[in-house]
Amino acid sequence: MAFTQSDSAPRENIQTKIKFYSIPVYRQWAVVSIRDCNSGSDMKKIEAIIKPFKLEEVKEALAGLGVEGMTVSEVKGFGRQKGHTEIYRGSEYTVDFLPKIKIEVVLADKQAAAAVEAIVKAAKTGKIGDGKVFVSSIENAIRIRTEETGEQAV
């Protein structure tokens, strides 16, 4: 018994009765390696945990510096503040995790110091629970749509 194989027809293995299909590949996509496209530019990621009502002030302060994008998340947590107690319908409740806002921004190294200063100035109330700012180095960034890398991607 002879078999003929076409690209779209199933092929049958006589011994196990398993059908195999040939699936044509129409286009190969370029794969971008983070190691290969490191532009050597220094970038910083700024993560700020702030009080929720300070978000607009921080956003305006960063916009004033020319920051074009940021990621904002609603988070819960506690630090030295250790939460607080509330009285609801005559009963006292301990609230351990307080609502906060987390802002993430990736910037060129030369903009980072000014951005941190703007965040601290805008978010500061002088009271416990104002938040924290973390700065870390970013090796590379890639814009998915255009495949730009480094500072051009941010």
One-letter amino acid for residue 62 of the chain? L
pLDDT at residue 154 in the model: 83
* pLDDT value at residue 95: 77
Annotate 81-109 with b (16+ C-beta within 10 A) or e (fewer).
eeeeeeeeeeeeeeeeebebbbbebbbee
What is the pLDDT, as a whole number, of residue 5?
53
- 75 in the Ramachandran plot: left (φ > 0), alpha (ψ -120 to 50) or beta? beta
Neighbours of 34 (CB within 10 A): 11
Query: For 86-111, how does the pLDDT look when each residue is reduced to its tens digit (9 = 90+)?
Result: 777 888 877 788 899 999 999 999 99
Q: What is the pLDDT along the chain (154 residues), one digit of tens a residue?
A: 555 555 555 555 555 565 666 666 565 555 555 454 555 568 999 999 999 999 999 999 999 999 989 999 999 988 876 766 777 788 887 778 889 999 999 999 999 999 999 999 999 999 988 999 999 999 999 999 998 998 888 8
How much is the pLDDT for 133? 97
DSSP three-state, residue 122: helix
Arithmetic mean of pLDDT over the chain: 82
Segment (H or E) for 116: helix 109-123
pTM check: above 0.95:
no
pLDDT at 90: 83
